[in-house]
Amino acid sequence: MVHGEVWTLKELFVTPNEYIYWSVQIVMYPFMTGLVAGAFVLSSLYHVFGIKELKDIARFALVFSFALLFAAPMPIMLHLQFPFRGINVMMTSHFTSAIAAFGIVFFTYGAIVASELWFLYRKHFVLKAVALRDMQDKTMLQWLEYLLYTALTLGAYDISEQALHRDEKAIKVLAGIGIPVACFLHGYAGFIFGSVKANALWMTPLMPVIFIMSAVVSGIALCMITYIVVMEIRKIMIKRARKPWQASLEEVKGAELHVVKMTAKYLVFFLIFAISLELLDLIFRGYTAVKSWDMLRTIIYERDFYDIFIMQYGIGNLIPLILFLSPGLTIRRAVLGVLLVLFGVFMMRWNVVIGGQAFSLTFAGFMHYHLPIIPHDWETFKEGLGGALSIFIMPFVLFYFIAKVFPVFSSKEAH
Amino acid sequence: MITRRDFLKKTVTIAGVAMPLAAFEIIDPEKLFAQVAAEKTKVRWAFLVDTYKCVGCGFCVKACKNENEIPYDANVTRTWVERYVLTKDGRLFADTPKGARDGFTTTKIDLGLGKFQDIKKDNIEKAYFVPKLCNQCENPPCVQVCPVGATYQAPDGVVLVDRTWCIGCGYCIMACPYGVRFFHPVHHTAEKCNFCYHRITKGMKTACVDACPFGARKIGNIKDPNDPVTKIVRTERVGVLKSEFGTKPQVFYIGLDEEVR
């Protein structure tokens, strides 16, 4: 069977080679890179602009951004017909292509996040390494831990007041450089779509900006929900099995309302910005009404009406806005709000990627996408519900392990 | 310990050696090859379709599939024929069942999803067939977007795909405004019409040109003023598909209608 045939239904006049080639994994790709970029921007709000209320969530967001970073290229790998040739993008980068810069942007960004993390956790590594070095009768595991932390110090054991001050400066600089790079990482994901002149729905110079805004929204939302869930789970766990060397109950707090409220403010700010841009794009298309508008109008107002106006704008944007803007925000309401926001951003990606392929190049036919839910071979798994869910779960699993080395909860060791 | 004097001396020496080296231009073998080849061959392949002559028999599609080893029953094809029917009440119907591999054997228009529409003969205002194939654009968007350079333009203008280097991202498929690209069902790499490159470079015609019983398809060298195709393109009224994309397509059509997509 031809690639794409299994999940594509054609209606009216569609040329023979047209299928929905970019399926759910290409929806996941901008969704995941958006989360990476958004989480990083959130952490930078504290490190660069010194917004103190975000201190707790900033460190958390940075570590989470690191976990997400590994998951971001995975959708592409699952989408490629030859995943093992993916490295060719870096071997023979063809720079007229928007995808060609992926390796460079991605690794630059990765290096910035990794270095910032290192500066942030250097003191923690040194203290751990020294404590483990002085420990007598180490077990096998402790030996491994000792080796790990010694390696992570990179030989820099100076944790004097001045040294730490320099670290802070470095963090500030890195976070500052990181913001444009994070925006670039995602903005250019938008460029990948926005520059396809053959696709009437995608081609708009606003696409990168729309992508960045919605990326920040989704990143903040994901950090909020993870922050709340992790803090609450931690509270319950510690309450259940309290041991003498662990923090006393007074120190163990659940998610703090003032952190959530402050973060929600930024979320709303970026959300309004994102919606405005999307509406501007829509209005502009309707007003200029070029050749493709007849088709796009059919797609936007008729065929995909439910997905765009009910799911994305209604459930994903309007309801969260009401939830966040009504007075007396509670944690529970915030949880519902951010979940809906995440859903809304996912639907936006969906409506762009799948919606952009819902019509034929002839402007006289339609294609329907049927997400493979029960896989019957490797292809329908990786480009189906299973593959998408695996990608979504991946950063949380990674976060669990990364957080073991980079503790995200407030302790006196880190800055 | 390096003194200031030593440092200056060494700097000057290094700079002195480096300066003449900069005079050498770095030669890009690919560019050089392209230059030499383009000068030597003086060939730019172009295609001419006379839509008045096409009857929609589909022999070209069949021949292409066999010649280029595109699985016969796979629902993708390097070339296809479209049927356009405009009714007296101003409605447009168009279809291309199986790319017209078996020709148009029924008057029923394929509406997809298993539905068909029969149009009464008296109701037809005009109807015609339009063969489609890769336009071998002068400014090919598919080449522009390939992240690894696996698809490239040969010096004679034909856009080719390197099956050993294609990563299968599908960006080129998305970028083509003509929908000529697809994933090969067997090789799983990007696939497209290449004007039967293995034939035309040996002095033969493409499989579809040879298969067409009515001479609706012609291939020629647009750089050669005596080539029949060049003569027609230069002296008659021809059109190209979707010129608004700035791709500069090199498949020319005689009798192109406004309704052709």
Are the CB atoms for A414 and A167 separated by under 8 Å? no
Give the separation between CA A394 and CA A25, rounded to whole angstroms. 14
Beta-strand relationship, B182-183 and B190-191: antiparallel
List the single residue in B111, B147, B188 with the smallest CB-CB distance to A12.
B111
Nearest Cα of chain B lies from the Cα of A98 at a distance, in angstroms, of 7
Are the CB atoms for A53 and A407 separated by under 8 Å? no
Do residue A15 and residue B92 have CB atoms under 8 angstroms apart? no
Q: Is the pLDDT confidence value at A415 over 50?
A: no
Angle value at C-alpha A163, between A157 and A169, nearest 5 degrees: 130
Q: What is the ipTM of this complex?
A: 0.88
Return the residue in A22, A80, A81, A295 with the most chain B beta carbons within 10 A, the one to mutate for interface testing.
A81
Collect all residues of chain B within an 8 Å Cβ-Cβ radius of residue A85.
148, 165-168
Is position A192 within any domain?
Answer: yes
Q: Does residue B261 sit at the A interface (CB-CB below 8 Å)?
A: yes
**Could you count the other beta carbons within 10 Å of the beta carbon of residue A415?**
16
Query: What does each of the 261 residues of chain B score in pLDDT, given as a tens digit?
Result: 678 888 888 888 887 777 666 666 666 766 766 666 656 668 999 999 999 999 999 999 999 999 999 999 999 999 999 999 999 999 999 999 999 999 999 999 999 898 999 999 999 999 999 999 999 999 999 999 999 999 999 999 999 999 999 999 999 999 999 999 999 999 999 999 999 999 999 999 999 999 999 999 999 999 999 999 999 999 999 999 999 999 999 999 999 999 998
Give A182-235 pLDDT, tens digit per residue: 888 888 889 999 999 999 999 999 999 999 898 889 988 988 888 888 788 878
Q: Does domain B138-191 have CATH number 3.30.70.20?
A: yes
Phi, psi for B190 (deg, rounded to 5): -60, 140
Give A137-178 pLDDT, tens digit per residue: 888 888 999 999 999 999 888 888 999 999 999 999 999 998
Q: Give me the residue spans of the domains in chain B.
A: 45-137+193-254, 138-191
Number of Cβ pairs < 8 A linking chain A and chain B? 146
Confidence label for A56 from pLDDT (cuts 50, 70 and 90) = confident
Kindly state the percentage of chain A with pLDDT values over 70: 95
Judging by beta carbons within 10 Å of its beta carbon (0-12, 13-18, 19+), is residue A24 exposed, middle or buried? Answer: buried
Collect all residues of chain B within an 8 Å Cβ-Cβ radius of residue A362.
94, 261
Return the residue in B148, B164, B176, B258 with the most chain A beta carbons within 10 A, the one to mutate for interface testing.
B148
Number of domains making up chain A? 1
Do residue A13 and residue B141 have CB atoms under 8 angstroms apart? no
pLDDT score, position B128: 96
Give the separation between CA A196 and CA A202, rounded to whole angstroms. 7
Do residue B112 and residue A81 have CB atoms under 8 angstroms apart? no
Give the separation between CA A403 and CA A64, rounded to whole angstroms. 8
Is position A84 within any domain?
Answer: yes
CA proximity to B178, closest of B240, B224, B126: B240
Give the CA dihedral A260, A266, A271, A273, nearest 10 degrees: 170
Average pLDDT value for chain A: 88
Nearest Cα of chain A lies from the Cα of B211 at a distance, in angstroms, of 20
In chain A, whose CA is at the least distance from the CA of B95?
Answer: A13
In chain B, whose CA is at the least distance from the CA of A356?
Answer: B174
pLDDT score, position A410: 55
Are the CB atoms for B142 and B159 separated by under 8 Å? yes
Q: Determine the average pLDDT of the residues in A50-61.
A: 80
Lowest mean pLDDT among A358-362, A406-410, B206-210: A406-410
List the single residue in B76, B167, B175 with the smallest CB-CB distance to A2.
B76
Nearest Cα of chain A lies from the Cα of B182 at a distance, in angstroms, of 6
Return the residue in B64, B183, B242 with the most chain A beta carbons within 10 A, the one to mutate for interface testing.
B183
pLDDT score, position A413: 41
Q: Is B53 helix (H, G, I), strand (E, B) or coil?
A: coil
Nearest Cα of chain A lies from the Cα of B144 at a distance, in angstroms, of 5
Do residue B147 and residue A94 have CB atoms under 8 angstroms apart? yes
Q: Is the pLDDT confidence value at A250 over 60?
A: no
Phi, psi for B163 (deg, rounded to 5): -65, -20
Q: Does residue B77 sit at the A interface (CB-CB below 8 Å)?
A: yes
Nearest Cα of chain B lies from the Cα of A300 at a distance, in angstroms, of 20
List the single residue in B145, B177, B179 with the smallest CB-CB distance to A17.
B179
Beta-strand relationship, B251-254 and B45-50: parallel
Confidence label for A46 from pLDDT (cuts 50, 70 and 90) = confident
pLDDT score, position A44: 86
Do residue A4 and residue B183 have CB atoms under 8 angstroms apart? yes
In chain B, whose CA is at the least distance from the CA of A195?
Answer: B175
Do residue B95 and residue A22 have CB atoms under 8 angstroms apart? no
Lowest mean pLDDT among A31-40, A73-82, A166-175, B190-199: A31-40
Give A302-343 pLDDT, tens digit per residue: 999 999 999 999 999 999 999 999 998 899 999 999 999 999
Domain containing residue A146: 26-260+377-405
pLDDT score, position A139: 87
Sign of CA dihedral A21, A25, A30, A33: negative
Give A87-138 pLDDT, tens digit per residue: 888 888 898 998 888 788 888 989 999 999 999 999 999 998 999 888 888 8
Give the separation between CA B167 and CA A375, rounded to whole angstroms. 23
Is position A361 within any domain?
Answer: no
Q: Is the pLDDT confidence value at A252 over 70?
A: no
Is position A198 within any domain?
Answer: yes
Nearest Cα of chain A lies from the Cα of B114 at a distance, in angstroms, of 9
Tell me the residues of chain B between 102 and 141 that have a Cβ less than 8 Å away from chain A: 111-113, 132, 141
Angle value at C-alpha A185, between A179 and A191, nearest 5 degrees: 125
DSSP string, A143-165: HHHHHHHHHHHTT----SHHHHH
Collect all residues of chain A within an 8 Å Cβ-Cβ radius of residue B150.
88
Collect all residues of chain B within an 8 Å Cβ-Cβ radius of residue A196.
145, 174-175
DSSP-derived letter for residue A413 is S
Sign of CA dihedral A23, A27, A30, A32: negative
Return the residue in A1, A6, A15, A292 with the most chain B beta carbons within 10 A, the one to mutate for interface testing.
A15
* CATH architecture of the domain with residue range B45-137+193-254: 2-Layer Sandwich (3.30)
pLDDT score, position A414: 42
CA distances to A145, B140, B168 from A31, rounded to whole Å, are 35, 29, 21
